[in-house]
């Protein structure tokens, strides 16, 4: 509990020490408008696309003490000088009497006390809106009256976020600011690059009279910028210069004289940072949000959204840390990854062509289907728009332009320009959507393929069903020497880039899982021909995998172009890969004895107290023939690190073979809640999963990085709710098939499914891991363990006895 604690009542994490090892962040708004707020008030905000329409300049690589994007200064006169400080701690770093950053659902609230002033700032984006609001309340907690000025500040970036860093002449020549005074005499400070001045403007404004403003950073800091953010020289003047910047580093600083605040008295200031086509167009909403009541109403609406989102699935297990994650923080992180893919975090900087990842978002979508299936469907449709006619997929795309590209493969000459796995993930996402909703009509919706003519018109369209069938055919037709799927530039593991012709066992197994889904779907549709076809594909691939890929101890991970195995006990480095073992179980290709041996090998060779390593031992020198994996030292990231995304797949595999004890052990050891007590080792936010943790070959074993945007969120949520607790949507109904630790007496789940609520209570009197003995629905015994679709808006009680 060094830097903070979980407040479960308010579904917050409360940071109580601003000097966390790295910045801990929260997300506000959505990709449509929003971004990151860090725990010292810094903000990285964009609209629609962080690469192409970024608003604030936030440079994560700067030291934690530096100003980033936004801050708030307060000042009061002391003798001839002003005492200037930031209630956000950064950038003035004054000593505080209290510091709390409440990381909430869609909002951050910073509460601090400095020099007798208690400040409480609630930062959020109203639902569906294009503005970030900071609702600032200042209370005099001293015993004497104080004269207070408040100066909120933002720093702008050029909307083309990469250009900001590559051209230090063009960018400043274009950046301009202009002050508008509305009818009531209120100042709105607008900002735009010259080329956008008639089409979109950023603005910063407040609900109190602005006495003076500044839009030029050089003037604000003073002394040709030898004044600093920690001590801006202009804040020693009575007023700011009212400069409308014609170029340069644009900021927006608004000086408010709040007057005398008596002991115990509170005063309030509300700021808005937004973007619209023009100030005229923005005015009605600007005026609305100057009203504190409207701000409070918008905040409540947002709270209702989160209540509803989370209420769709709530659990009560014997494990308190699991409950905290599954009821709040894990689904919340799933919502974040669904929004931002791997685009914008403190680690994935949202610059250039990174965009939305096809593979990543296909997996993210699966975790929010229970809460927001419509949004899930919309994202699936977007993804299908960048699938190619041959069934493979473009690797990533910019959400504003929908222009896609082939990812890192573009940078390597002669490398295949596709990834072996991308297109198969969408099969899993679509079938998950169909099972959740029963919306089979979706299969008939027509969506264009990515290829276009020179006028930008798509060359071909197909139904959703056609899209998934082509995805399957692509893998079916692109196999190598062993008849196993070709790797392409890479598969899920982006960093193993073997020469063209190499084969991937990961793709083989993902293909197997996708085929299982296709067989089940075809069966549900009554399409016997498709059932037969996909069953034949499945059996053939199963046979090839078992014939070639079992090395006597475990499954190998790849075959190189010369036919040699990678991820085999015959290798000296990279002998065993976690995905090599978990996925043959998930695909159902592994016969029971091999499944058990493969998973036991993970336990012996890859497990650590901080999670399961992706592979071991790490490669110890750069080897261009292996690719990206060898750019990391042993123990880091994909090279022998604990790459968390792959952990839930092992959990799922353990539940498939019935080992609930080990499945839970794996869940528990990566639960970030428990890291709160070992935070100086872990370093990242304890309320979300990170992408990677350094493995035990590394001297900094246990240190996490790349928090928030990781497929770990979606898969741990699926692993826990659908496999461990075992509540799984199917075409026919809700299947209850838990695989839990033997010691548990049972658990409860409330889950919405196709417009009815299922109140499920599972009892485990015989203390088994798996096996459903009986199921009662509304007091009546049913056959099997699939509870019917009711769709009647009512609540149904489901009692399950294991044994
Ligand atoms: C990153 C990528 C993801 C990839 C993983 C493993 O998280 O976003 O697509 O599967 O790394 O390499």
Instruction: Using CA atoms of 437, 441, 447, 449 in order, give the dihedral in degrees to the nearest 10.
Output: 80
Residue 541 has pLDDT above 80, yes or no: yes
Q: Which residues are catalytic?
A: 494
What is the pLDDT, as a whole number, of residue 528? 98
Cβ of 422 closer than 6 Å to ligand 1, yes or no, is no
- DSSP3 helix / strand / coil % (the chain, rounded to 5): 30, 30, 40
* Spatial CB neighbours of 681, under 8 Å, sequence gap ≥ 6: 675, 701, 702, 703
The whole-number pLDDT of residue 413 equals 85
pLDDT interval class at 677 (50, 70, 90):
confident
Secondary structure of residue 751 in the 3-state scheme: strand
Averaged pLDDT for residues 689-707: 98
**H/E run at residue 533:** helix 528-548
DSSP string, 395-408: SEE-TTT--EE-GG
User: What number is the average pLDDT over the span 465-477?
Assistant: 98
347 Cα: distance to centroid of ligand 1 (angstroms): 13
For the cut 80, the answer to whether the pLDDT of residue 362 exceeds it is yes
Ligand 1 geometric centre to CA of 349 (Å): 15
Residue-wise pLDDT for 509-528, tens only, equals: 999 999 999 999 999 999 99
Q: Among the atoms of ligand 1, which is closest to the Cα of residue 492? A: 10
> Could you tell me the two tokens for 385?
């728009």
**Which two tokens mark 540?**
């053939």
- Across the chain, mean pLDDT equals 97
Mean local confidence (pLDDT), 64-71: 98
Label residue 414 by pLDDT band (50, 70, 90): confident
**Is 495 close to ligand 1, i.e. is its CB under 6 Å away?**
yes
What average pLDDT does range 723-751 have in this prediction? 98
Q: 414 with 500: CB under 8 angstroms? A: yes
User: Would you state the structure tokens that stand for residue 687, as one six-digit string?
Assistant: 């309320």
Strand 795-802 and strand 772-777: the pairing is: antiparallel
- How far, in Å, is the centroid of ligand 1 from the Cα of 691? 9
Pairing state between β 81-85 and 70-78: antiparallel
Our mutation pick for probing the ligand 1 site, out of 645, 689, 715, counting the most ligand atoms within 8 A of Cβ, is: 645
Ligand 1 site, residue 332, Cβ cutoff 6 A = no
Angstrom distance (rounded) from CA 1 to CA 708: 20
Q: How far apart are CA 406 and CA 357, in angstroms?
A: 10
With a 6 A CB cut-off, is 4 part of the ligand 1 pocket? no
Give the pTM.
0.98
| Residue 359 CB less than 6 A away from ligand 1 | yes
Bridge partners (DSSP) of residue 38 are 25
Q: Please tell me if the CB atom of residue 638 comes closer than 6 angstroms to any atom of ligand 1.
A: yes
308, 302 in Cβ contact below 8 A?
Answer: no
Task: Grade residue 766 by pLDDT with cuts at 50, 70 and 90.
Answer: very high
At 598, give phi and psi (nearest 5°): -65, -45
How far apart (Å, rounded) are the C-alpha atoms in residues 133 and 522? Answer: 49
Q: Atom 6 (ligand 1): residue with closest C-alpha? A: 493
Instruction: Note the residue count of the chain.
Output: 803
Contact between residue 403 and residue 451 where contact means Cβ atoms under 8 Å apart:
no
Alpha helices in 289-329 (DSSP H): 292-311, 320-324
| Residue 25 CA, ligand 1 centroid: distance in Å | 21
Instruction: Count Cβ atoms below 10 Å from residue 677 Cβ, excluding itself.
Output: 12
Q: Is the pLDDT of residue 292 over 90?
A: yes
pLDDT at 198 over 80: yes
Q: How confident is the model at residue 115 (pLDDT cuts 50, 70, 90)?
A: very high
| Lookup: tokens for 775 | 């199921």
Could you tell me if the CB of 581 is within 6 A of ligand 1?
Answer: no
Residue 160 has pLDDT above 80, yes or no: yes
């Amino acid at each position: 509990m060094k830097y903070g604690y979980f407040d479960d009542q308010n579904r917050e994490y409360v940071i109580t020490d601003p000097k966390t090892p790295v910045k801990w962040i929260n997300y506000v708004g959505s990709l449509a408008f929003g971004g990151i707020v860090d725990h010292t008030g810094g903000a990285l905000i964009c609209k629609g696309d962080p690469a192409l329409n970024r608003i604030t300049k936030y440079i994560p690589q700067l030291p934690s003490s530096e100003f980033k994007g936004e801050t708030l200064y307060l000042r009061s006169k002391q003798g001839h000088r002003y005492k200037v400080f930031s209630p956000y701690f950064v950038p003035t770093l004054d000593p505080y009497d209290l510091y709390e950053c409440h990381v909430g659902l869609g909002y951050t609230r910073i509460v601090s006390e400095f020099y007798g002033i208690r400040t409480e700032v609630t930062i959020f984006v109203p639902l569906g809106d294009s503005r970030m609001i900071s609702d600032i309340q200042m209370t005099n907690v001293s015993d004497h009256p104080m004269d207070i000025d408040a100066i909120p500040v933002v720093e702008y970036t050029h909307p083309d976020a990469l250009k900001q860093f590559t051209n230090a002449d063009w960018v400043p020549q274009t950046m301009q600011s202009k002050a508008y005074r509305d009818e009531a005499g209120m100042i709105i400070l607008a900002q735009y690059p010259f080329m956008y001045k008639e089409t979109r403007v950023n603005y910063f404004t407040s609900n109190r009279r602005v006495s003076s403003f500044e839009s030029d950073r050089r003037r604000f800091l003073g002394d040709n910028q030898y004044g600093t953010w920690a001590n801006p020289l202009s804040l020693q003047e009575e007023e700011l210069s009212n400069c409308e910047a014609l170029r340069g580093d644009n900021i927006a600083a608004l000086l408010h004289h709040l007057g005398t605040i008596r002991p115990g008295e509170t005063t309030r200031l509300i700021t808005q940072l937004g973007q619209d086509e023009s100030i005229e167009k923005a005015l009605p909403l600007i005026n609305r949000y100057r009203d504190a009541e409207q701000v409070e109403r918008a905040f409540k609406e947002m709270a209702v959204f989160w209540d509803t989102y989370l209420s769709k699935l709530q659990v009560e297990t014997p494990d308190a840390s699991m409950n905290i994650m599954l009821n709040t923080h894990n689904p919340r992180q799933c919502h974040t990854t669904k929004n931002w893919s791997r685009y914008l975090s403190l680690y994935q900087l949202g610059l250039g062509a990174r965009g939305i990842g096809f593979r990543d978002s296909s997996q993210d979508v699966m975790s929010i289907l229970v809460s927001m299936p419509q949004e899930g469907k919309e994202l699936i449709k977007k993804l299908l728009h960048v699938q190619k006619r041959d069934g493979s997929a473009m690797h990533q795309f910019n959400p504003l332009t929908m222009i896609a590209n082939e990812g890192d493969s573009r940078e390597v000459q002669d490398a295949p320009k596709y990834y072996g796995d991308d297109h198969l993930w969408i099969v899993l996402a679509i079938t998950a959507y169909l099972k959740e909703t029963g919306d089979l009509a979706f299969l008939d919706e027509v969506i264009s393929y990515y290829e276009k003519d020179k006028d930008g018109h798509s060359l071909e369209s197909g139904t959703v069903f056609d899209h998934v069938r082509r995805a399957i055919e692509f893998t079916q037709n692109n196999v190598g020497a062993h008849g196993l799927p070709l790797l392409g530039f890479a598969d899920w593991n982006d960093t193993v880039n073997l020469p063209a012709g190499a084969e991937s066992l990961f793709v083989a197994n993902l293909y197997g899982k996708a085929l299982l889904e296709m067989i089940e779907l075809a069966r549900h549709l009554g399409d016997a021909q498709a059932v037969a076809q996909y069953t034949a594909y499945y059996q053939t691939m199963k046979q090839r995998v078992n014939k070639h890929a079992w090395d006597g101890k475990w499954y190998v991970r790849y075959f190189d172009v010369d036919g040699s195995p990678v991820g085999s006990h015959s290798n000296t480095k990279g002998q065993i890969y976690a995905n090599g073992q978990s996925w043959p179980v998930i695909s159902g290709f592994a016969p029971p004895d091999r499944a058990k041996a493969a998973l036991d090998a993970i336990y012996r060779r890859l497990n650590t107290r901080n999670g399961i390593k992706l592979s071991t031992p790490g490669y110890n020198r750069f080897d261009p023939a292996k690719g990206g994996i060898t750019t990391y030292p042993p123990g880091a990231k994909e090279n022998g690190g604990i790459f968390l995304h792959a952990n839930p797949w092992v959990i799922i595999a353990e539940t498939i073979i019935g080992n609930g004890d080990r499945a839970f052990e794996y869940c528990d050891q990566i639960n970030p809640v428990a890291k709160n007590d070992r935070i100086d080792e872990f370093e990242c936010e304890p309320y979300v999963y990170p992408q990677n943790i350094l493995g035990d070959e590394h001297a900094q074993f246990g240190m996490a990085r790349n928090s928030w945007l990781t497929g770990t969120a979606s898969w741990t949520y699926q692993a826990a709710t659908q496999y461990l607790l075992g509540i799984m949507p199917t075409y026919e109904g809700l299947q209850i098939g838990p695989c839990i630790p033997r010691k548990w007496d049972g658990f409860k789940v409330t889950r919405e499914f196709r417009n009815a609520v299922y109140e499920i209570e599972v009892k485990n009197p015989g203390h088994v891991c798996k096996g459903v003995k009986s199921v009662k629905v509304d007091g009546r015994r049913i056959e099997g363990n699939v509870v019917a679709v009711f769709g009647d808006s009512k609540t149904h009680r489901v009692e399950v006895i294991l044994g």
